[in-house]
Amino acid sequence: MDQEGNVQPLRIGVLTHIKFPVRQPFAGGLEAFTFDAVRGLRERGHAVTLFAHQGSDATLNLVPMPSQDDCRHPSLSSTYVAEHHAYLEVMQGIDAHGFDVIFNNSLHYVPVTMASLVRTPMLTVLHTPPFFELVNALKAPRRRGHFATISAANARAWHGLLPDCAVVPNGIDLNAWHPGGCVGTHAFWFGRIVPDKGTHLAIDAARLAGVALRLAGQAPDTHYFNEQIAPRLGEGVDYLGHLGRDAVRAQLRQASVALVTPCWEEPFGLVVAEAMACGTPVAAFARGAMADLIDEHTGALAPPDDVPALAEALLLARHRSRSACRARAEAQWCQQRMLGAYEQLLWAAADA
């Protein structure tokens, strides 16, 4: 920032996790966030380089990270070893890129552990609740860096280690996610189809409520899909596959309600913001940030894992005001507001 307080262009190195490519159709919310953040910061005039899975969108000024096949170990998980070595290699060479600041969204302990060993300052965004490896990295006596997280709920979870963690709610492009078209009577669930997302519970709740359900998302856990999802399909439950953003938006605009069924302490829930921006109310389990995102005007909450209560919440939520949902999205989850907040934090880290 110059003496007049104007934000100047930064050279930013962005780290993200490397399990899935950052490209459409997105595997989950972090890939979507990373894609939007890189493009948004570039549009604001910054020079942004993304370190990510080698299959990521090449238009993001990509530096490909080593893949799982590049490193194997006879006793440890090859994924664990590959990720460790990939981040170690990047951090060992990060200063040579001449970045003003590192924007760390990796969910990994190595960048945080090595923050005090590199010259380039780093802003780490905590996209998850506390977990063992990252907690240990933050407890290290040489730990330094700047930190933000995506919701007040997640800030509360990290408060013991990072009492002054900045909160920047996730934002979406409200010009792209908007209401439109004819609304049906069915419900819609979308996301990564894994046990933590509780897809099977969404199916059970919709069937109990007597409401047709459409599902969409990547299914990386074939055992879970074959054992818990495939047998539940049919009789008003349809799996649409792994959809791109345009198709997801179309489905949301048609749905009477969106179901969100976290089986962990969901730190934000980008699907909630996207649904409401399309005017679609949300029925969800009251875990993590859900109670902060959804109010009595825009949806309904059920106790965690309580399928009958979720069925009741679904029937309540589908009658909430669609205009109230859109208004809440506009007030809470503007992408440009999010980018501006990160821009200020990145400049503060670079200038510290």
Residue 142 has which token pair? 């040489």
338 and 318, same domain (yes or no)? no
55-68 mean pLDDT:
88
What range defines the domain where residue 238 resides? 187-332
97 and 198, same domain (yes or no)? no
Residue 43 lies in a domain: yes
Q: What percent of the chain has pLDDT over 90?
A: 88
Residue 147 lies in a domain: yes
21 and 148, same domain (yes or no)? yes
- DSSP secondary structure letter of residue 70: G
The mean pLDDT value of the chain amounts to: 93
Residue 84 has which token pair? 């460790």
39 and 155, same domain (yes or no)? yes
Element (H, E) at 190: strand 187-190
137 and 217, same domain (yes or no)? no
Q: Would the pTM of this model clear 0.85, i.e. be above it?
A: yes
196 and 61, same domain (yes or no)? no
Residue 5 lies in a domain: no
120 and 60, same domain (yes or no)? yes
Q: What is the pLDDT of residue 5?
A: 53
Residue 55 lies in a domain: yes
Q: What is the pLDDT of residue 202?
A: 98
- For residue range 266-283, list pLDDT tens digits in order: 999 999 999 999 999 999
72 and 154, same domain (yes or no)? yes
Report the range of poorest mean pLDDT among 64-68, 90-94, 300-304.
Answer: 64-68
91 and 17, same domain (yes or no)? yes
**Region for residue 108 given its phi and psi (left: phi exceeds 0; alpha: psi -120 to 50; beta: otherwise):** beta
- For residue range 115-137, list pLDDT tens digits in order: 999 999 999 999 999 999 999 99
Residue 179 lies in a domain: no
Which residue intervals of the chain are DSSP H helices? 29-43, 78-93, 109-114, 132-139, 152-158, 199-209, 222-224, 245-254, 270-277, 290-293, 307-317, 322-332, 335-351
Q: How many domains are contained in the chain?
A: 2
342 and 204, same domain (yes or no)? no
34 and 136, same domain (yes or no)? yes
CA distance readout (Å), 223 to 219, 237, 239: 10, 19, 16
Residue 266 has which token pair? 């969901």
Using pLDDT thresholds of 50, 70 and 90, give the confidence band for residue 230: very high
Residue 64 lies in a domain: yes
d(Cα 201, Cα 165) in Å, to the nearest integer? 33
Residue 240 lies in a domain: yes
| pLDDT exceeds cutoff 50 at 71 | no
Residue 144 lies in a domain: yes
CATH of residue 306's domain is 3.40.50.2000
194 and 299, same domain (yes or no)? yes
Q: What is the pLDDT of residue 352?
A: 83
